[in-house]
Amino acid sequence: MKQLSRWYGTEVIYEGKIPDDEFVGKISRDVKLSQVLHILELSHVRFRIENKKIIVAP
C-alpha cells in the first residue's frame, strides 16, 4: 500500500486494525489504480476512494 500511495499520489488510510496480510507479485507502474485495486479486491481486500484517499476497510 505504501508503494501504491507513492505511485498514484494518494494517501492510504486504514479503518480498524491494519491487516497483517502480505501480497507478493509484480504490477507494471502504468496500470491504472482502479485496476490494481480490483486485483486486490479479488483477495477480499475492501476499499473505497474519497478525495485522493484510499480507505482500506476490514
- pLDDT 10s digits, 10-55: 999 999 887 677 878 888 989 999 999 998 888 888 889 999 899 9
Which pLDDT belongs to residue 30?
92
What are the cell numbers at 5?
500511495
Which pLDDT belongs to residue 13?
93
**Angstrom distance (rounded) from CA 13 to CA 29:** 21
Which pLDDT belongs to residue 45?
84
**Angstrom distance (rounded) from CA 20 to CA 4:** 17
Q: Report which DSSP code applies to 23.
A: -
**Angstrom distance (rounded) from CA 48 to CA 41:** 11
Q: What's the one-letter identity of residue 7?
A: W
The whole model's pTM is what? 0.74
Indicate whether 57 pLDDT > 90: no
